[in-house]
Each structure stands twice: as structure tokens, then as C-alpha cells.
Chain A
Amino acid sequence: MALLQISEPGQSTKPHEHRFAIGIDLGTTNSLVATVRSGKADTLADEQGEHILPSIVQYTEDSIVVGKAAKANQVSDTQNTISSVKRLMGRGIKDLKILGDSLPYEFAETDSAVPRIKTVAGDKSAVEVSADILKVLKARGEQTLGDELEGAVITVPAYFDDAQRQATKDAATLAGINVLRLLNEPTAAAVAYGLDSGSEGIVAVYDLGGGTFDISIMQLRQGVFEVLSTGGDSALGGDDFDHAVAEWILKEAAVDANALTPQVRRLVLREACAAKENLSESAESEISIQLDDNNRWNGILSRDIFNSLIDPLIKKTLMSCKRALRDAEVEKDQVMDVVMVGGSTRTLRVRERVGEFFEATPKVDIDPDRVVAIGAAIQANALAGNDPDGNLLLMDVLPLSLGIETMGGLAEKIIHRNTPIPVSRAQDFTTYKDGQTAMSIHIVQGERELVDDCRSLARFELRGFPPHVAGAARIRVSFQVDADGLLSVSAREETSGVEASVEVKPSYGLQDAEIEAMLKASMEFAGNDKDARSLREQQVEADRVLEAIDSAMADDADEMLNESEKALILKARNELEAMRHQATDAQQLKISMKNLEKVSEEYVARRMNASVLKTMAGHKVEEFNKDE
């Protein structure tokens, strides 16, 4: 959540004649950086002349290797070489089970909601890995431009939820980048095409990358890019084509995937990917793989077989297209242009099926790998104040509905998907018992009816509003979504005008304190002093736990706990407090926290049940229908 703003140290506010700004496409498979020079937007190359930076990071004991060099070591150093980390952005431990099979890493046991990958250089969160990629791109930009950067526009899939967007912004913060705007990838692509062609009308942007699929329906008019609707799948992309081919190979070779080492599995995947790419040129592709010491498999993948393997996946994307058209209230024949984005649109079958669906020839003029970065650079240039005409304006929409949990685990939508952003909405709540001064609200994002089927974003604890008799307080909770699509929440008791304090507990994102700690650590110690850093992180965590238990017990310990239960919790609490000041390593502190957590488990469960009742009490059904 964007409640706590971390300001950039040394951020320049001096006026420049020309402000240098870059556009970054932080992709699942590849990343790029672009900028506008002499009025022309183009991607930047590294010293070897390579524009594409594979989004792969290898951690060794004393260095961080990013890009092609890391990719080369992927097979030999599987566990320390991290790829497709974008899939983990803003994801929680629970999500790993869904993504799990395709991830060959070992995850650290952790109390945090954010999964961390075990490497020889310590446990790494997706945010940290992404930051390491961003640092390389930023350095490339600075080197090429020879000046300090004003800031960057970073692209995200239009389908990214709040947690995923926040994680991306956090990664930029860690990399020392001033984020001018988070921009939807398809919007960026339309920007890239818009300037070249100056066209007006409805455009569909079909973006099939390595790990994500997005469809956006946009209207272009008079320099304004208006997103009418977005849809897609944040876990579908060209990687899935590779997996489908790999599965076919293993089936043909009659090999059990589970019997293979991670190295060989990677090798099969790599061969599958090569065969796929080859099929864009030739009618069939020969495959030869050394499965183990005395087993080499040879086979031929024809276009027909390949097409039958990926057709179900393409069909899924077309279903999303249909839905996006309906959301935009646009008929297929109104779509003027279909813009193809992402390396996976090089696959001929994709172009064919998309062309059939929209009854139009898809646009592929600009390199589908670079088009997003180029659009981001154009937007960055405009935001930095270098756009002389000042006409470029992007009006964006909320990609997924925001809702709150109500009675019975149902999600009530507060702001519907495809609502133009920025947007704010207020919702009134009242208290259900006399003297109540706090309540908690669970925010979810998604289209499904059950809270369990939506993404949990955060729990907000509202505290400090004056006591009233039950039902008399009127707590107006304001939800504000900014132009980056990020949510913040504020609350106010209307009858007295008292601002309630809002405490955010992101369900999957990093805590603001965690980010702060990481930022501090990365600046002060440049990643050296891991022990001190993790101790500091645990101290911050311990403070949070102590504060949480104290305020909870002050609230309702008397009514929810008997004396012996209370004593047990208090004992663990006091131990933790002592440890908070004495502990010299993170592990000691962790054990104390675990202990407190264990003895208060039942109490937490009771409170959770009560808080759901509390949140909804006195709330009228009609209030939810305001915007219908």
C-alpha cells in the first residue's frame, strides 16, 4: 500500500534544461530500457551492442550477475540463478503452490508473507531480484545519456493487481529509481504506434509475453489514449508454450518428468523453446536431447503438432479478448487495428488465430520485443516535461475490481474494474457495540464473489475514533486509487470529524518497514552485513508484533480470554519484549516471536471472527449498490 512514502535521498529538484528520463520494460523473460534522443525513441544497447537484457539474475557469494551471462549459467547453477521472477512479484507463500511446479528454486522458511528464494548470497525476495535487474538498466541509461536521470516510467501488465504494482514500485525504490509513472504495457505499445501513425479509432493491443497475457481495448483520439477495458491472464504466456512442447517431448520420449534432475528439466525446456522459435521460420523442427548418460532422444516437431499443443492456450487468450470487447462495449468490427506485442506474437499460429478472431491483419511493424520500452520512453519524456506540444495524455482504468469482505466471506465490490483512474470512493460504516473505537476492514481485488477466490490485498485497522453508542458513529472510509493504480485508504468519524488512524497489513506485499529496512541495508552496507540486516528486520517485525498484541489485548482481552490464557500470552509477550532489546542475532528473536504467535493463535482466531462481524455490523445493503 502506498501509505508510507519513502523519499529518494538526494533527489534533485533543480530545474534542468533537458530532463533525462527513461522507459523500462521489466519483462518476465526479457527487459529493455529506452529513451528519447533528438525527438526519436529507441532502446539502448549495452557495451556489447545487445538491447535485450534477459531477466535473469545469478547470485554468487561475492557478485550479482544479470542478463546473458546469468542465462549462460542457468543450467549449471540452477538454484542460484533466478528467472521469470516477475511471476512472483506481489505473490504470497500460498500462491507458490499454484506456480510451484515450474519453479526450480528452494524457498526459505519465513514468517514474512513474502516468499524468499534461497541463494548462496542469502534469501532473496522477488522485489530484490527485480531491483537488481532495474539497477543494470538504470546504469545503462545513465551511461548512455551521461547524466543523472530525472526518473523512469516502468511498465506493468495491465492485469497486475495492486500488490503486484506495489511490488514493482518497491523494486524501483530499492534500485534508486524515481518512478514517474507505472504504465500498462499495452498502453505503452499503443503510445509507440500512435506517434508514428497518428491514427484515430479503436485499437486492440494483444500482448503475449513470456509469462503474461494482456488484452487492452483502447480508443485513440486527439493525442489522448483512453483505455476502454483491459483483460488477460497474469499466468499465461510463451513460457507455457515451451512447457507444452516440453511435456510433449517427455511423453514422446516416455520419460517421467519427476525422475529428471532440475538441470535436465531446464535443458528440455530450452530445447522446447528453441524448437518453438524455429517453427516461425521452418515447417518442422528437429529436436535432440541428451536425457541422461546413455539416453539421447531425437524427434521432429511439426507445425501441425505444435499448433495442436498451443491452440488451447491461444483459445484462452481469445476468450479474454471477447470479454474485453464486451467490457468496452465495442463490437469486433469496430476495431480498427490490432497491435501485436511481446515475443510470443512471433509465433505464426498466434498471428493467424488473432487475425481470424478480429478479422483484421495484426500490426507487427515495430519489433514486438521493443515496442513497450519505446512507448514507455515516450511517456517518460513527456512526464519529464520535454514534450513541447504537451498533448500526450494517458487516461487509464482500474484493471481489477476492488472490494471489501462482508458477512459470510463474500466480496462486495467498491470500485468496479475498468473504472477510469485516478478514482476515489467513500463508504460509510457504523459501529455495532457501545464505545467501539476500532474496526478492521479486509480489502480484496478480483471479480469473483467469494473472498477466497479474490486476491487478498490488505487488512486495515481503523483506530482512535471517539466512542459512541452502537450504530451512532459514522465512519467514512475513503479509498483512493492513484494514477498508477495503487490504493490508499483513509478514515474519518463524521459526527466528530476525528481522523482515524489506518494501519495497513498488506497480505502479500512487503511491509513498508521491510522496504525501509532493505533500502537502508542496501545503502549502508551494500549487501555485506546480512546478519545485522536481518536482525534489524526482525526487530522491526518484533515491534510490530508487540504493538499488535498490546492494542489487541487492550481492546478485548477481558472478554475473549480467561485469566490463565491471558497470563500465558502476557508471559510470552514480556519475553519477546526483553528479547527485542537483548537479542544479538535474528534467530533468537524469531524464536520468541514464534512462541508468542503460538500461544496467541486461538486468541487471534477468536478476534478474527469477531472483527468480521464488527466490520459489517449496522452496514446497510443498499450502500453497496450506490454505483450500480
Chain B
Amino acid sequence: MTDSIFSQNYFEMFSIDVATEVDLQQLNQKNRELQQQVHPDRFANGTEAEKREAMQKTSLINQAYNTLKNPVSRLQYMLDLNGVDMNAETDTSMDGAFLMEQMELREVIADVRSQDDPLATLERIASELKQKMTALIAEFDGEFKQGAFDQGRNIVRKLQFINKAQHEVNELTEQLEDEIL
């Protein structure tokens, strides 16, 4: 079975349906099963060729696992499977209101140090971002099921923005915590 993983898509590798939501527990479980079979530790006494194959297979499984685990990369991959290239330079016009919102958010983040309690502000922003992400994923689900992939792509673009903002918030939180120390 694992011989053919190179020709399977990520969902097939983990025996799950192509869907916006995945059962993380099932994903983890299957990941362990696959790793038990192909991990390099299983071939520590093997030939160089076997070791290399084990490394390549495990790398691929890890790549697939990471892609499916993270919602944004998972959605992007679903579009990918349907021939939608996120990086294609087609019409990239974005929802103006969304962009404005993002820019305002960036300003708040950039200026957070001047707040009375910057960590609390960051925590509030983090939870807002999380909510927004959940809403967008639900929106994506509706569009994807109707085969509206272009709409789906616009939503993934927004999700990428939010993902980035989340990274920034996390990093800033760490910095501020370090400074308090």
C-alpha cells in the first residue's frame, strides 16, 4: 500500500474524504500508522537504497500531514487538486473593505506598544482573528461545494492575510513577554 503513496493525493494517503473539515484525531492516527511502516528507524539496518526510500516516503507523509493539518494550506491544496493555481497572476482584485480592515489591523499591531496593556490588546486581536478565520472557512465550504473555485481562491487569499497577521501577533506577543522578563 505504501509503495503507491507517491502517486496518491494527500487525502488519499490518509484515507480521508476531500473536505473543508478534517477529523484531526483520525489524521493523527493514520499518520502514526503510516509512519510505523515507512519511517527511517524501521530501516536502520537496511541498505542505502532502502534508507533513502524511507526518508523520501516519510518526508512526503510529513509534507502531506502538515498540509492537511493546517486549515489554510488544506484549503489551498483542495483548490490545487481542482486545477486552481494560487500563484497564477490572474485578476487579483480583492475585497476593498477586507483590505481596509487588514490595514487598520496592521496599524493597531504596529502601534500596540503604546497601549496601556499591549498583551491584552494582542490577546483580543488574536481571538478576533481566530473567529474571522472560522467564518471564512465556513464560507469557503459553501463555495467549494458549489464548485465556485474562483470564489474559493479569494477566500483563501483572505485566509493567508489572516494567517500572516496571526504570525505577527504571536511573534510580537513573544517579544513583549521576553521584555517583561
Contacts and interface: CB of A to CB of B under 8 A. Distances in A.
Contacts of B63: 423-425
Interface stretch (B5-13, B34-42, B127-135): B34-42
Contacts of B163: 628
A319 B178 contact: yes
Contact of A224 (B36, B42, B72): B36
Chain B residues touching A, majority SS = helix
A628 B39 contact: no
A440 to B, nearest CB: 25
A383 B44 CA distance: 6
Given A420-B65, A422-B62, A628 B35 contact: no
Given A222-B32, A480-B59, A482-B40, A628 B164 contact: yes
Interface in A207-235: 221-222, 224, 226
Contact of A628 (B59, B72, B181): B72
Contact of B41 (A322, A394, A420): A394
Interface string A180-204: 1100000000000000000000000
Interface string A362-397: 000000000000000000001111000011011100
Nearest to A219: B28
A222 B164 CA distance: 35
Among the interface residues A322, A423, A425, which one has the most CB atoms of the partner chain B within 10 A?
A423
A609 interface: no
Interface in B66-114: 66, 72-73, 87
A227 to B, nearest CB: 13
A441 B20 CA distance: 37
Contacts of A222: 32
B44 A315 contact: no
Contacts of B44: 180-181, 383-385
Given A222-B32, A319-B177, A483 B39 contact: yes
Contact of A393 (B41, B66, B160, B164): B41
Nearest to B58: A422
Given A224-B36, A322-B177, A385-B45, A622 B62 contact: no
A280 B151 CA distance: 65
A628 B45 contact: no
6 contacts: A224-B32, A326-B170, A394-B41, A395-B39, A483-B40, A627-B66
Interface of B: 32, 35-36, 39-42, 44-45, 55-56, 58-60, 62-63, 65-66, 72-73, 87, 160, 163-164, 167, 170, 174, 177-178, 181
Contacts of B58: 422, 483
A186 B44 CA distance: 21
B178 A628 contact: no
Nearest to A19: B45
Contacts of A226: 32
A421 interface: yes
A627 B41 contact: no
Contact of A480 (B55, B160, B170): B55
Interface residues of A, number: 39
Contact of B59 (A322, A393, A424): A424
A181 B39 CA distance: 13
Interface of A: 19, 150, 180-181, 221-222, 224, 226, 315-316, 319, 322-323, 326, 382-385, 390-391, 393-395, 419-425, 480, 482-483, 620, 622-623, 625, 627-628
Contacts of A422: 40, 55, 58-59, 62
B141 to A, nearest CB: 21
A302 to B, nearest CB: 25
A623 B66 CA distance: 17
Nearest to A382: B41
A468 B55 CA distance: 33
Nearest to B55: A422
Nearest to B166: A628
B62 A419 contact: yes
B49 to A, nearest CB: 13
A423 B73 CA distance: 16
A419 B62 CA distance: 8
Contacts of B60: 424
The 3 closest A-B pairs by CB, nearest first: A383-B44, A424-B59, A483-B40
Contacts of A319: 177-178, 181
Among the interface residues A483, A623, A625, which one has the most CB atoms of the partner chain B within 10 A?
A483
Contacts of A395: 32, 35, 39
Nearest to B170: A326
A226 to B, nearest CB: 8
Contacts of B45: 19, 150, 383-385
B106 to A, nearest CB: 16
Nearest to A15: B45
A315 B180 CA distance: 12
A390 B37 CA distance: 10
A419 B55 CA distance: 15
A419 B66 CA distance: 8
A627 B55 contact: no
A393 B177 contact: no
Contact of B181 (A221, A316, A419, A620): A316
A221 B36 CA distance: 12
B133 to A, nearest CB: 13
Contacts of B160: 625, 628
Given A393-B35, A393-B36, 18 more contacts: A181-B41, A221-B32, A224-B35, A224-B36, A226-B32, A319-B177, A383-B44, A384-B44, A390-B42, A393-B39, A395-B32, A395-B35, A395-B39, A422-B40, A423-B59, A424-B59, A623-B87, A628-B167
Nearest to B40: A483
Contacts of A383: 41, 44-45
Among the interface residues A180, A395, A627, which one has the most CB atoms of the partner chain B within 10 A?
A395
A315 B56 CA distance: 41
Contacts of B174: 323, 326
Nearest to A390: B42
Among the interface residues B41, B60, B66, which one has the most CB atoms of the partner chain A within 10 A?
B41
Contacts of A628: 72-73, 160, 163-164, 167
Contacts of B178: 319
A625 B165 CA distance: 13
Nearest to A397: B62
B154 to A, nearest CB: 16
Contacts of B32: 221-222, 224, 226, 393, 395
Contacts of B181: 315-316, 319
A217 B15 CA distance: 28
A71 B110 CA distance: 53
A430 B134 CA distance: 37
B1 to A, nearest CB: 18
Contacts of A391: 36
A108 B148 CA distance: 67
B73 A627 contact: yes
